Structure 1
């Protein structure tokens, strides 16, 4: 959308000027006319409809009323000081309440005057009120713009000081559209508009700001959402195709002694159908002659590590080295120990490299990597340090993807002369829609069944009043030889959140489980790695029965004997975090339990989270619910991707549009991989202009 007029600095728009331009830049990152046009409304008011006070009910959203202010007064003092006005029409009365800007509002609101108010009504003790309503004199409530649906724009306190509230922004949009009529260039080819019955870009922009009716608004929004998702898919799939063409993949054409010995003699359990399927997908990738970039998703305990190890053995059998990178020292150590145990008795050396590896050991590891005598290395971020060079790295496994930025992954690829295959593992289930957008350049494999003999974890929700029963249950489990985790959300006292402090919790537990009969470990983020490790090892060896911890145990800790997870103040955790914590138990053959403790006051959203946890152990169902509750920006690992700068599209609600956009792009690149056909020039121009600054993508390749 780069007609020259749209690149005009916002300073030169009628009604802006230097000081307003400055605040628009700082608050909204609006530098040009185009930036302002892309600042879309977040809702619309139907200004044709007036309700009466008598019609109001608790299910109503934002409504418009006309009536008279019959009384007003200041109430309360200090922080609870507020202005309360009585508002009446012929059907009843209600209260209008303000907590901020009292002096200005008190001067504006006059008793005896008729006003139009707009806000969401709230009910308290059977009384109806509106808090901080939008308000204007009835005499001034005339149609300023030719639209029955009035746009409402996101604004900020600073913008409002410059008269750039929603109405102020609407006036600026009106001014731009008057100037650029017919100057908004098309970004999608004509055949796509026709096929999907989409309006032109110009019409969509005009109607999203000033819709003549609801039908025109819906068409405009559908067009703009499609475009957003289409260009995200084009970016991902175009670069995936470029990478496939540009880099020859290493071919692992034989299944050798290491793989066969492990499969026939060392495998601790029969592989599940899902594990076998994923192994076949990896095998197919590594035979194809193209570089593998595969995302392996599997719930906690589904057996991803064994698949990663077998893939690494495949690389080693073909004369290549393999490495596995984990996000924390604890997890790297755990992978190293479990791999060593699995490979016991096999003639295969594995190394461990973390931040705390002594320099003398480092030197030996560096030499062995460079001369090729160390076939397998497991470690942390230390693997991507400058000094680490492999003789020939064939496969890089990255565990817990969301802890690594794209650049870190790319550094790993540069550790060898030829680009290695990459297998990314995550136990954080990613909803399909998110996988298509954030990880759309990776092929996705899913291990969707647990090993035989694993019993589903039983999850219950308990209020504070049930604490004594919970403590009794923990004692029963410990008497049966089991171990218990108790997790707290915070390490520091927080007055605002009124949370149980970890140290207080520890003292309570020690009182409830006295020595010498019981031993209690404690782990939190403020401890030194050595202290943390000492406490973890005590718990791992069974020297302590209870582990009191903050969420540092969330990733990767494997204690098969731990059968109960108690999560304190569980309403403070996100769904995916609760699911990750629950996954720390249920790793042995015994029945395991997760107990979600909360206070009595719960928000609607917290109730949905807890009900979801009690209802299902399915990580993908949990991830989909999490996406609906929180949106993609808050999901672990999506912020750092830089991909989801969505203005209108909503991944939870617009799955159908996303699927259509992706299919469209696949078809397009199948027929015209370089976008050279005349009818696709409009696409290519916009695509290139959009990504001039995307050096980020160069790093990927």
Structure 2
């Protein structure tokens, strides 16, 4: 009978020795046999096929098989020693690609890599004089290298593992091979150890997943590539089941919590508000409102993600939910990511409610409430007044930034928390407000970045997802155009002539820059917006925050002109003849909060014609006369951020125009994002395209959670059927066995697979 082994508890140093185990832990955070077995190859190389060099990504770790065309040495100019320069090719008959390699003080490379040699190369690509290059790459000569590699490279596909600058793919592969040998996982699975399976036997049979031991053999040491991809299907399903079971457990825990139902009343703020609206709700707003009404009426906490296009009227829907809760005798808190947006929400809600927000004031409605603002930059007196209104219950609606999360903020009875632009807040920040009262309040999370169904099932699986379809009457279409300065440099002047035309027509213009000052070399270009230690996040040329923009190496960036900054752009526009006499304002996170408020108020009033800003205006800012947005160095932003930004124009019934200005030449990888944004205003299509362009693991990876990549093989767009099936299975498992007592392997896999940061990110309830 085969030995039963739990790979999660089997330490690597017992199999590989301390030195190799230490390297794996330090570079890849892999500590156990199970973790190494689950470090799957990214792809497979065929021994006789060279890899295409044309189109290699810049700034990423790559592994490829290529032929050596030439090899030469030359002395270094500034110090002793030699540089070995090697030129490799993929021998592509239609479009042959070449790549230059540089080795410093590498006598062995000069001896090994002579013309005609075929080798496996691995390293991080960079740019030198606008050409792709690899500096000091690792290499493995394939001719006669099979014995040294410890793998039969001649007959089998070569697995390519996610690697680091310290550990090459083939070094990792050799350690995986040693583990497989230790476990007896080879050609004869009868002699292999028995590995406990995460997937229940009945589900494995239904999905035709096959034997677990054989799957590990086929994914790491396939005889044919088809074997590897069959094994990948088994591990994709396993991964989906682990994630969905974790989410199903959280949903069950939420359902078990007790909350106070807040049903709609026949008389009160909400009926009066609806009666006073000068327009009719859209069908989408009505449908979502009825769903929220039903959820708020239940005696367990509502946990809902509300998504909709930019300008679809999510804030109005949220306000109606807040009024329903206030009518039921509780309070609502609206958490906004920036002071600019918090102030605008406060002003907008107060103006929209009119007499209904004027409790205790002359002209206020009989059953009016108060709407108060709480931010970190408020004066002591104003802050004290807002705190008292919240604690006494006098304020039915409290709008604020991170300052709301302070321990000094108390509520009489908090019934609903609304989080605007959820991606700007961490779990701890939301929970700090939600756990403030003894009885859990209801939660409504809003996002204007549409999320495909499969992403919602994977990332927001423990939130109910409501989609607000359609746009309110009066929202005009937005035309988006790329301004390619590399091909059309004369268009630079036309941009500002176009801005002048809008101003002369009585309209207003946004100009968005990726940096605040010309001296910003990196970082976030942001300030501490409200004195609480949290930031108004703005990009400054490092790509869109959390948006997977990236794409250029440091060498590439140094070869390009400096990025546009707010301060330098303001100076440029002030001396541009086409804009003579135009009133220009600037807005960014480093301004004093009072100055930020004054600038935005002046833009609202029409006292500023052109507002030069960072992405601080990305969400929520609503200026009816703004019809043109110019985004400088638009390639530095991600798809969803560009979509958010352009949603600031065309909000007053007049058509909007967005110009995506870029200095990148046609064909550059980062131009793909601009092409996508210019091709459609459908946020769901853009969200799907964004996912295709993102790097592996970003859905639950470091950009959101601060930890390592969680998704290994699962792809939320391509694997919709797998995710849906696993969701159903997980729900059935948890309903039958909430504590997973009868599924200890699955329970252990959840604890092991989801690192603390990723698990916390999932914990939205």
State the TM-score, normalized to the length of structure 1: 0.88
Match of 1:34 in 2: 34
Residue pair 1:407, 1:699 contacting (<8 A) in 2 also: no
Is structure 2 residue 202 aligned with structure 1 residue 203?
A: no
Match of 2:169 in 1: 166
Quote the Cα distance in structure 2 between the aligned partners of 1:233 and 1:527.
Answer: 44
**CA deviation after TM superposition for structure 1 residue 328, in Å:** 1.1
Is structure 2 residue 691 aligned with structure 1 residue 666?
A: no
| Greater Cα shift, 390-399 or 272-281 | 390-399
**CA deviation after TM superposition for structure 1 residue 72, in Å:** 3.4
Match of 2:405 in 1: 384
Is structure 2 residue 529 aligned with structure 1 residue 486?
A: no
Aligned 1:421-432 pairs, distance under 5 A: 421-432=442-453
- 651, 662, 666: which is aligned to 2:716? 651
Q: Cα gap change, 1:63/1:688 in structure 2, threshold over 3 Å: closer, same or farther?
A: closer
SS of equivalent to 1:595? strand
Q: Deviations over 1:291-340 (max 9, x none)?
A: 11111111221111111111111111111111111111111110010011
**CA deviation after TM superposition for structure 1 residue 71, in Å:** 5.9
Residue pair 1:434, 1:632 contacting (<8 A) in 2 also: no
**CA deviation after TM superposition for structure 1 residue 606, in Å:** 2.5
Aligned 1:188-587 pairs, distance under 5 A: 188-265=199-276, 267-346=277-356, 347-464=368-485, 465=489, 466-493=491-518, 494=521, 496=558, 497-498=560-561, 499-512=563-576, 517-587=581-651
Residue pair 1:70, 1:87 contacting (<8 A) in 2 also: no
Is structure 2 residue 148 aligned with structure 1 residue 148?
A: no
Quote the Cα distance in structure 1 between the aligned partners of 2:89 and 2:511.
Answer: 52
Q: Cα gap change, 1:371/1:648 in structure 2, threshold over 3 Å: closer, same or farther?
A: same
Quote the Cα distance in structure 1 between the aligned partners of 2:594 and 2:338.
Answer: 13
**CA deviation after TM superposition for structure 1 residue 585, in Å:** 0.7
Quote the Cα distance in structure 1 between the aligned partners of 2:375 and 2:195.
Answer: 54
Residue pair 1:253, 1:318 contacting (<8 A) in 2 also: yes
Where does the alignment leave 5 or more consecutive residues of structure 2 unmatched?
57-61, 185-192, 357-367, 522-556
**CA deviation after TM superposition for structure 1 residue 698, in Å:** 11
RMSD of Structure 2 on Structure 1 (CA): 3.6
SS of equivalent to 2:611? strand
Alignment size in residue pairs: 679
SS of equivalent to 2:670? helix
SS of equivalent to 1:138? coil
Match of 2:188 in 1: none
Where does the alignment leave 5 or more consecutive residues of structure 1 unmatched?
160-164
Match of 1:162 in 2: none
Q: Deviations over 1:175-223 (max 9, x none)?
A: 1112223142211110010010002322222221111222321121111
Quote the Cα distance in structure 2 between the aligned partners of 1:302 and 1:468.
Answer: 34
More helix by share: 1
SS of equivalent to 2:354? coil
**CA deviation after TM superposition for structure 1 residue 534, in Å:** 2.3
SS of equivalent to 1:430? coil
Match of 2:183 in 1: 180
| Greater Cα shift, 530-539 or 439-448 | 530-539
Q: Cα gap change, 1:342/1:2 in structure 2, threshold over 3 Å: closer, same or farther?
A: farther
SS of equivalent to 1:83? strand
Q: Cα gap change, 1:280/1:698 in structure 2, threshold over 3 Å: closer, same or farther?
A: closer
Residue pair 1:186, 1:202 contacting (<8 A) in 2 also: no
Quote the Cα distance in structure 2 between the aligned partners of 1:361 and 1:275.
Answer: 35
Match of 2:9 in 1: 7
| Greater Cα shift, 530-539 or 170-179 | 530-539
Q: Cα gap change, 1:221/1:313 in structure 2, threshold over 3 Å: closer, same or farther?
A: same
Match of 2:660 in 1: 596
Residue pair 1:76, 1:82 contacting (<8 A) in 2 also: no
SS of equivalent to 1:589? coil
SS of equivalent to 2:86? strand
Quote the Cα distance in structure 1 between the aligned partners of 2:612 and 2:745.
Answer: 60
